[in-house]
Each structure stands twice: as structure tokens, then as C-alpha cells.
Structure 1
């Protein structure tokens, strides 16, 4: 029997990159996956691909994670389709101009809306049902930029520091409720988001997906709080 047979996972930012890899890995372990992103054409392609693989089933829901109502609707549709939400992966993110000197306030606001508010909207939407069922797993995808700040990453790093703070505080809030929290901080991953950022060796999106599977397939009494994944 597959490790996640009968479970349902919601993955934001699932149309490409890390999110798409996470969706494939979770479905490969038997989980039904709800795919969320703004690009419905890409989501529909992912849905068809996963449904043709013979693992867990997929359902696409167009969602802007910076919009609270759309995130709430995402969780409602997940429950309507598959009955419950057992895993929620806050993966959607924006990496835009991050220096303070650039003065690109609109881009800072977009990063704050997606990288911080979007995570909180996801948690807020799924947490009541997880607490009611005394089980569930929230996985927040942060970044090594939430551990280290460069002169080019000030604002982006601030948003990822915030994700780590949310994860750390939430894990303490939810102690002994049956709801687990994992924060995963990837190094540079070869995705469309990072392709122009560096010419050095990058991780593959599947490397992060495997870290998610590791965290969510531990015994119920094991809570993997923090995983940092870096290229060698």
C-alpha cells in the first residue's frame, strides 16, 4: 500500500517548479492532490498528467493566494471533492526586486502579499478542519534566504524570515493537537523563478518534493519541524 493512500493534499503554486514536483510526488504516494495556482491552463495540464499516472487523483482550482476569499474557496472545493484536507503545502511564492534601494514598492508589496499573507491565508483556511479532526500537516516552503541575507535579497529575505517565524510559532501553538508543522528551506532550485539568478549548481525541484514526502510520511508522533536543503 502506498504511504499516503486515502490522504488529500492541497499544494499552492502547483502549476510549475517546486509545486508541480511536490504534487507529482504526493500523488505518486497515493494522495489525492488539489492543485492551486493562477495559471489555469498549466493546472489543467498537471491535472490530466497526474490523473493519467494511476496514483492519487488530481483536481485543479485556479487560485491567487494573495486573495483571502480565493484561498478559502480553494479549501472548500478540496473538501467538497475529496472529503477532507490532510496536508496543506504553502508553496506559492514571488521572488522579485528585493533591494531597498530599488524603490520598487509594488514588487515588495506583491512579495509580502504572496509570501507572507498567502501563507497565513492558507493556514487560516485549513486549520479549523484540521483541529476538528485532530490531525493534519501544514508544510511551509521558505528559503535559505530566510536564514541568510545578501545585499540583493533584503525584502525577499524578510518575507522568508517571516515564513520561518510563522512556522516556528505555529508549531508551538499546535503542540499536542495532532496537527503538525514543517518548514522547508530550499537552497537555489532550478525553476523558472530562479533561472536567471545564478549560474552555479542548483537543486532539482524533485529534491524538495522528496523532502516534503519525508516529512509527511513520518509516524503520527513524529513532527519534523525544520528541513534545510542545499546543493553541494
Structure 2
């Protein structure tokens, strides 16, 4: 029993350290009434493909849904980017949706003007992908109520947005990591294995040998 607990703990630590965001791949049906983000401080990333000019809306409450604890004073963390084009593709840097952050009274807390923004090239190790990072935002929630983030695109394209920094994974989520990698790479116009999957067999072998020793010896 003790060895099993050690094995599970090691798997959780490894997956958590390697994979920082819980991914969600959304569709238009998810935004009929706005997409509710239940834990805004939990590290999570949302992927969306705009098929045409449209607006999507994320909402979250300024009071904890589960424990009824006020989040006033809590830090709000958000990143927004566009997957970088693959080789032999037209640049995706021109896809720059409008992004607006609203407070509980529908007041504009920040309106991000991306047309003239100089993007940061962001590399994500686990999926082995690159993105144009346009927004890196941190602020403090000052009121209770419903906050929202709206993204409006004038045409087709792909974009992702992240919220939160707290990392927490379930066993089921850890088991889904291989599928997540394939979906993430496809979203970023990539195919095949990530670099670490190609060249990390030695590391995986060492980890596997260590786990076998812990379980059986």
C-alpha cells in the first residue's frame, strides 16, 4: 500500500510539474449564455477556433462558488495569445481579436488594444508549440459580483486564453495528458510528436526504472 501511494504521488508530481494548465477545447455551443469559469484562480487554458466574425464571453463570480468566500482582494491572472503559424503557412500574427475585461457593474476595467501591440513569442515546452502572446495581465478583484472577459473577432482564426496560477490535477486529468498533447499540437498547426517525446526516451526509461524499483523492491 505504501509503495502504491509513493508511485501515485510521483506520477502526480511529474505530471503537475510538466503540464501547467488544464486545457479546454471549446465550441460555439459553450457560449450560448457565456462560459462560466468556476475557479478563476485555477490554472487553466481555453482554446477556441473562430470560424467567422463573432464574440465569445467568459464570466466568473467575485464570490467563491463552493465555499461562499469573498474573493475581493484576490489576484486575477490572465494571458491571451494566438498560435503561431507553422512552416510554409501565412503568418497568423494579423489575427488580433478585441479583448475587454469588465467589472461587476459592466464597467470596463481594461480594454486591450492589440492592433499596435508587439507580440511576445511564447514557447510551450510540453506541447512543443509557439504562440504570439499579446496580453499578460495581473490585477486585483475589488468587488463582489459577476466579472467577464469578452473576445470579439472580425474574422476567422484561432486564439487561446488562460486564467489563474494555482496548479491542481486529478488522476483522470493526468491520464488524459497524452490526448491533450495531440489536441494542443493540432490547434497550433503541428503534427507528430513533441521534441521531448522524441528525445526524452532515456529520461522516461530512468523514471520507469525508478518506479519499478519503488513498487517491487
Give TM class, smaller chain. Answer: under 0.3
TM-score by length of 1: 0.21
Which structure features the higher share of strand residues? Answer: 2
Structure of higher RCO (CA pairs closer than 8 Å, 6+ residues apart): 2
Q: Which has the larger radius of gyration?
A: 2
After TM superposition, the score normalised by the length of structure 2 is 0.22
